[in-house]
Structure 1
């Protein structure tokens, strides 16, 4: 596997872990605004998507444009789409973008269902007494 593939696996694991952590904490005190986990997830997702783009650009021998860098920080899925469409033919970019997003959605959905099952079976949330 290439470096960018390992980074993507790390991104998927990071998202799943964050969702499971939310399931463990929210029953005790539902958030009124933003939790520390939300902040860590937001920054981590931006960093991992940016790192993926950097690794991909290095492997392809190209560079990221300033607009791709900026939009990745502001809204990672849009930044990812811009980067992919600027670095590849449109058909390949479309397949890679939808595959990238589909992988995130599948892992996130699986993590949410796993968290719901863990809460239902009283494995989550852990007892903090």
Structure 2
């Protein structure tokens, strides 16, 4: 997670980086791009991989713990699953707190997801749009 009280020098850069990450997350979650032709269901979003090796599943749709809980979005809360390591900021959302890398996390604010990705160096180079 970013520092609790970032210095004024770094705050604008963090805000720009967070906005870029949110934009990319929304692009990946786009229901139009994920909707299967002739079926109507959404494909899963590929696992997010970060620059430092951290990874996590980020999903949204009517079958996920997200808000709104539909297949249309835009979503402000999403479902995370099976992060590669424990992330303290996510524990309150864990279905099984004692198994942090083997559980799902419901209704996680998309802004918090962006902060976690930023804290792990942003998207991996192979993940960038």
Query: So what's the TM-score if we normalise by structure 2?
Result: 0.29
Comparing both structures, which one devotes a greater share of its residues to helix? 1
Comparing both structures, which one devotes a greater share of its residues to strand? 2
- Looking at CA atoms only, which structure, 1 or 2, has the larger radius of gyration? 1
